[in-house]
């Protein structure tokens, strides 16, 4: 089992395409998978790229510093700078979508949590678009976010999906705060927390309540001919897609269906469905806008120094229950505890 970068499309989907797709689809998926496997990523504080190519950190808390680059179909980072903070739209959808989504993600963390960028110290937000040829993924590499264009037959360009960009940015926040190891249950928590804040960023922009939201991750990514609503469903893990090419969404929503595997760093993209559903259930029970209560509880837990780098679901659950009481009260604590019980996770308070 190898450590890998925080990429959005899991290996099991790419492997399905390689096994069942057309020659062009197989080629795109294979080149993407091969590239992902050449990358190694060890959790560490976010790394600032060379100042000669990118913006310095913001000295204006509350205002993002964004820098979007064009890889021009190559796999060289960061690529040519094409839009930096304050410049007008370029007319290139990928560039402008990345710029806007990074801004929305920054605004969410600042306005809701008082957090000044990824490291809470004004970290400049770097995005590279048009990465590789028909690259079927998006990833955070410890210093910046990178987005492929997809092949247009299975996946559309990855900048179309605000929650995907929010997801990748959140991986940086997780590194900065908790450094959750990207393997097994701590890796699945890493993926789940990124899904949580990716979907909250989308809901925040759309002004949706927990009841109104679709709770889908990557709903804008699938090409029209693919039978599915998105890549993951936080409300009902295992139902996001069921397609002849991609297969059926394998995510479990309960510990009784936890997947034991050595693939995908111990199933980080599969088993994340369990804590995802716990968050969804908590948000539904708490009502209103999900970022106002459930989101704060999860964020407080992420920032809790007792959250270990190899935290289990049970340890994370125990902290969320404690943080719910600390910030809000016994009713919110009960709602969070019930959400974890409903997905079969028993809190481990002894480890705190």
| H or E element that contains 93 | helix 93-113
Show Cβ contacts of residue 195 under 8 Å, excluding neighbours closer than 6 positions.
163, 167, 217, 232, 234, 272, 276
Contact present, 69 and 124 (Cβ < 8 Å): no
**Catalytic residue numbers?**
168, 269
| H or E element that contains 201 | helix 184-206
Contact present, 174 and 198 (Cβ < 8 Å): no
Show Cβ contacts of residue 27 under 8 Å, excluding neighbours closer than 6 positions.
134
Q: Which of 97, 137, 127, 130 is nearest to 8 (CA)?
A: 137
Q: What CA–CA distance (Å, rounded) separates 284 from 232?
A: 18
Q: Which of 20, 49, 147, 133 is nearest to 96 (CA)?
A: 147
Burial of 262 (0-12, 13-18, 19+ CB in 10 A): exposed
């Amino acid at each position: 089992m190898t450590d890998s970068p925080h990429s959005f499309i899991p290996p099991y989907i790419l492997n399905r395409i390689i096994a069942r797709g057309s020659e062009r689809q197989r080629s795109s998926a294979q080149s993407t998978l091969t590239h992902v496997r050449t990358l190694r990523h060890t959790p560490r504080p976010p790394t600032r790229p060379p100042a000669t190519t990118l913006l310095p950190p913001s000295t204006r808390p509350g205002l993002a510093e964004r820098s979007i680059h064009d890889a021009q179909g190559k796999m060289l980072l960061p690529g040519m700078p094409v839009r930096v903070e304050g410049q007008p739209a370029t007319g290139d959808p990928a560039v402008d979508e990345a710029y806007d989504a990074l801004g929305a993600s920054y605004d969410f963390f600042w306005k809701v949590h008082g957090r000044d960028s990824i490291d809470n110290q004004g970290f400049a937000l770097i995005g590279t678009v048009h990465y590789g040829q028909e690259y079927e993924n998006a990833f955070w590499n410890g210093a910046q976010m990178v987005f492929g264009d997809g092949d247009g037959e299975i996946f559309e360009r990855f900048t179309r999906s605000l929650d995907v960009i929010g997801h990748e940015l959140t991986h940086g926040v997780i590194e900065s705060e908790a450094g959750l190891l990207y393997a097994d249950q701590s890796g699945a928590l890493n993926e789940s927390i990124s899904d949580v804040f990716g979907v909250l960023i989308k809901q925040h922009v759309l002004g949706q309540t927990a009841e109104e939201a679709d709770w889908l991750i990557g709903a804008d990514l699938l090409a029209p001919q693919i039978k599915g609503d998105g890549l993951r469903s936080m409300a009902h893990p295992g139902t996001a897609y069921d397609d002849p090419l991609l297969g059926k969404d394998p995510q479990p929503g309960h510990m009784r269906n936890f997947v034991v595997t050595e693939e995908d760093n111990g199933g980080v993209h599969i088993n994340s469905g369990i804590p995802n559903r716990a968050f969804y259930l908590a948000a539904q029970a708490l009502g209103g806008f999900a970022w106002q209560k459930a989101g704060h509880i999860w964020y407080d837990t992420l920032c809790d120094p007792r959250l270990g780098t190899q935290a289990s679901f049970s340890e994370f659950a125990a902290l969320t229950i404690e943080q719910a009481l600390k910030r809000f009260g016994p009713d919110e604590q009960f709602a969070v505890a019930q959400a974890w019980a409903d997905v079969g996770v028993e809190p481990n308070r002894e480890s705190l």
